Structure formats: C-alpha cells, structure tokens
Amino acid sequence: MPTTVLPPSHPLNSDTSTSWVVSAYRGSQPAVTPVWFMRQAGRSLPEYRALRVGTHMLDACLDPELVAEITLQPVRRHGVDAAIFFSDIVVPLKLAGVAVRIEPGVGPVFDGPVDTPEAVEALVAGHPPQLLDEALAPISEGVRRTVTGLRLLQGGRDPLIGFAGAPFTLAAYLVAGRPSKDHLAARTMIHRHPGHWAALLGWCAAISGRFLRAQVLAGASAVQLFDSWAGSLPAATYVTHVAPASRATFDAVRDLTDDAGRRVPLVHFAVGAGELYPQLDLDVDCVGVDWRTPLDEAALRIGGPSVQGNLDPALLGAPWPVLRDAVDDVLRRGRAASGHVFNLGHGVPPDTDPEVLTRIVDHVHSA
Ligand code: CP3
C-alpha cells in the first residue's frame, strides 16, 4: 500500500513519537507504564458537568472550543499520559446527514430503524460517505485546538488519541433505531439479508474511517476503534460478517505514517471479545482488553500486538488497599505483552470519584 507521510508539523513527527503511550502501542515497554482511561473526559468530572449545562451533547461535540476544553480537563486534573478526543460514535452519522439525537440516560436514538433491505438502500443511497469530508471541519478544528492545548500544557509530550465506533456497534444502533440490550435486530439481519448487511457495514466502515482520518490529519497520534457490542456475536459470525468491515475502517488510516515511515498506531477495543482473540487478525498495533480476560492470558491469545487495559471498573469503588492490589495485578500481568498501556476494562462509570482516578495514575507512575 502506498504511504502518505504526515506533515512535519504533525505531533507524531515531533512531540509524541517518543511518548510512553505511542512507544507502548508500538511494542516497547517504556520505563514507566503509561495510563489513560476510556471516558476520562465527561460525566465523572464536576468541571465537565459545569461546562455542559444548557448544551446538548451533540451540539457540544460540534463546538471546537468546548470539545478541546473538555478533552483537556482530565489531562490537567489526573496527569494521564494521553488525551482521548471528546466526541461520540454517532457524531459522524449526524454529520453525514442522518437524523440522530442523544437522549440523556438512554443513548443514541434515530428517527426510525434501518431494519429492512429498503431502509438500508435508502440510507446508503441518501448519505454518500464522501459528503462527510467537508462536514468534518468542526472535528478537525476541535482536534487542532486540543493539540495546541496539549503543547501549552506539557510541551505536547502527551498524544491525542482519536476514535470512532466500529461498524458493528454503529449498525447495532441503526438497525434497532435506538439502544438495545441484545442487538437481536442487527444479529437477525446478518442472517436474513446478508447482502444488505454487508452493504450497511461497508457504509458504516466508510463513515467511521473518514471520521478517524480527519482526526489523524488534524493532529491525533493514534486511533482507537470502539467495538462495544462485539461480544454479542459468536466468534465465527464476527469473523465472517463483521471483521472485514472493522479492517476496512482501519484501512482508512493505515497509509498514514510519520517521517520515519512508522504508521499511526491502531488500537482495537472489543468488549466481550475474549473468545474472539485467537481467530481475529485486524492487523493492529494494540488490542484493548475488557475486564473479563486477565492480561497475560489475553496477550497469549492475541499474539504479537501490545495490550491496553484492563482494571475492572467495579474496583473503582473498592477501599484503596483492594484497588491498589488490583492495579498491581494488572501491571504485573501486562508485562507478559510486548507493550502495555494501563486503562480500565471499559469506560469510567459516571459516579466515579475523580480523586480515585488521580490516585491510580500516581500509583501506576510510581510502580
Ligand atoms: O461522559 C459522558 O457520558 C458524557 C458525554 C456522552 C458521551 N456519549 C461521550 C462519549 C454522552 C451523554 C454520550 C451519549 C451516548 N452515546 C451514550 C450514553 C447514554 C447515556 O446517557 O447513558 C452511549 C452509550 C453512546 C454510544 C457510545 N458512545 C458508545 C457505545 C461508545 C463507545 C464506548 C463505550 O462506552 O463502549 C461511545 C463513545 C463515547 N461517547 C466516547 C465519549 C467521550 C469515547 C471516547 C472515550 O473513551 O472517552
């Protein structure tokens, strides 16, 4: 595949290439294990809740100044080693013209379900992914402002991680038209209308891929694909009917390299995917592991890539000695992998005491 070298001004060509997070993603064990938390920006922080008063979630995501400030809040407060871009997996759908809103306490809700061949055809024909590129301007601007903020904060050493929703997770929302527990409507479409299913996933991959590419071109130093509902599928179904689209999403940024020819680190995080690891090869640099599979076991199943994770979020409410032992256990098991970035096994729960997160960062850094 021909490569595209990122411009000299890109953080990977100066500040972030030797950062702990990028080094660990690329398979080395820096002296200190780097740490960040999924959903570190957001509802667990009082300064976030104060900023968001009176602004709808999706409006906030399209306000570059607000996005940059929210993304930087946890870096300032906790001293984490990476920022994760504040947005949502449905933002590129909205920018592509799909009617979607986020209902507080519920999640993404669409005007209607995309659960028939006709509905898939209308969605795909009515929303060409190429049209997204110009609409992504507020996202690019949010990334640029965040990178500027990171440079002011600590010389830009810490990378910004870009992200997108994986095709299956997006499709699970689209087919049901709203959040569902078992994703049965999407799982049914796979077998009832396999051709239309493939068309829908291909479209989702094109949308998420463009969202990722815009973030990297604007200054993100790595990308993570959130495959939150992957675990609801049998491994064989995932491999046949979903993995090609997940791979295609990464393909949208695979050609982008730093000036030393190293590609932008790619991270795949699939919840409930322990059984899937031995069968899955998405050609990524790092695999995010949820809280269910011990990291040393996961590293064996995954093979070459580094790992990220995987403190059970349920431990955040435990007394410190219990929590500290659990953090140490994750650190010890993580040494079995080529590289390890400490994280939770899923997002920060809304009611987490932020001081607990800061304490974990300090402990990981001093371990
Ligand atoms: O922190 C917050 O909850 C406030 C902001 C917010 C986000 N998404 C940020 C986000 C809100 C209100 C949403 C809406 C939303 N979208 C929900 C929550 C509904 C609710 O009110 O309880 C959900 C479940 C979605 C869909 C979604 N978004 C999924 C499945 C994922 C993948 C990660 C996961 O949790 O499995 C996202 C990504 C997401 N939403 C991020 C952020 C900041 C990703 C990046 C990160 O790790 O910070």
Report the separation in Å between the CA atom of 89 and the middle of ligand 1, taken as the mean of its atom positions.
7
Q: What is the pLDDT of residue 167?
A: 98
Interval 39-62 mean pLDDT: 97
- Looking from the CA of residue 43, the nearest atom of ligand 1 is 1
Residues with CB under 6 A from ligand 1: 38-39, 41-43, 57, 84, 86, 88-89, 102, 104-105, 107-108, 163, 169, 226, 228, 347
**Rounded distance, CA 1 to CA 217, Å?**
18
Beta bridge partners of 4: 256
Cα within 13 Å of Cα(169), Cβ side: 24
Known catalytic residue at 88: yes
- How many other CB atoms sit within 10 Å of the CB of residue 26? 17
Read off the pLDDT of residues 218-250 as tens digits, 9 standing for 90 and up: 999 999 999 999 999 999 999 999 999 999 999
Tell me which DSSP letter residue 159 carries. P
Cα 160 from Cα 219, distance rounded (Å): 7
To the query of whether residue 187 is one of the catalytic residues in this protein, the response is no
- Tokens 């006709």 belong to which residue? 118
**Residue 187: which of 138, 140, 238, 145 has the closest Cα?**
238
Instruction: Say which of 26, 43, 151, 359 is annotated catalytic.
Output: 43
- Alpha-carbon span 18 to 159, nearest angstrom: 10
Quick one: average pLDDT of 114-123? Answer: 98
Q: Check if 329 is active-site.
A: no
* pLDDT, mean of residues 281-299: 97
pLDDT at residue 131, rounded to an integer:
93
- 3-state secondary structure at position 267: strand
State which of 80, 86, 88, 249 you would mutate to test the pocket of ligand 1, scoring each by most atoms of that ligand within 8 A of its C-beta.
88
Range of the domain at 290: 4-366
Handedness of CA 70, 72, 73, 75 (dihedral sign): positive
The predicted pLDDT at position 1 comes to 80
pLDDT at 280 over 90: yes
Ligand 1 atom closest to Cα of residue 228: 36
pLDDT band, very low/low/confident/very high, at 155 (cuts 50, 70, 90): confident
pLDDT tens-place string over residues 299-344: 999 999 999 999 999 999 999 999 999 999 999 999 999 999 999 9
Look at the chain and report how many structural domains it folds into.
1
Return the number of other C-beta atoms located less than 10 Å from residue 78's C-beta. 21
Res 156: pLDDT:
81
Q: Average pLDDT in the 160-174 region?
A: 98
CATH number of the domain that residue 205 is part of: 3.20.20.210
Distance between CA atoms of 230 and 242, rounded to whole angstroms?
9
Which is nearest to 314 in space by CA: 286, 348, 271?
A: 348
Q: Whose CA is nearest to atom 40 of ligand 1?
A: 88
pLDDT at 154 over 90: no
- Residue 128 pLDDT exceeds 90: yes
Q: Whose CA is nearest to atom 19 of ligand 1?
A: 107
0.95 surpassed by pTM: yes
CB 34 within 8 A of CB 342: yes
Is residue 210 annotated as a catalytic residue, yes or no?
A: no
262, 26 Cβ separation under 8 angstroms: yes
- Confidence bin at 150 (pLDDT 50/70/90): very high
Q: Hey, which bits of the chain come out as E strands?
A: 4-5, 83-84, 100-103, 107-110, 160-165, 222-227, 256-257, 266-270, 286-288, 306-311, 340-344
Inter-residue contact 61 to 87 (CB < 8 Å) = yes
Per-residue CA distances from 134 to 13, 106, 130, 137 (Å): 26, 30, 9, 6
Q: What's the CA gap between 52 and 305, in Å, rounded? A: 37
Give the list of residues 6+ apart from residue 125 with CB closer than 8 angstroms, or none: none
Q: Which among 360, 358, 366, 266 is positioned nearest to 312, based on CA atoms?
A: 360
Nearest CA to ligand 1 atom 29: 89
Question: Which is catalytic among the residues 25, 48, 81, 88?
Answer: 88
Model pLDDT, residue 257: 98
Atom 22 in ligand 1: residue holding the nearest Cα: 105
Q: Among 67, 89, 223, 291, say which to mutate for ligand 1: greatest number of ligand atoms within 8 Å of CB.
A: 89
- In angstroms, the CA 225 to CA 228 distance is 9
Q: Above pLDDT 70, what percent of the chain? A: 100
213 is catalytic: no
Residues 82-115: pLDDT tens digits?
999 999 999 999 999 999 999 999 999 999 999 9
In the predicted model, what is the mean pLDDT of residues 165-171?
98
Per-residue pLDDT, 290: 98
Give phi and psi for 243, each to the nearest 5. Answer: -55, -40
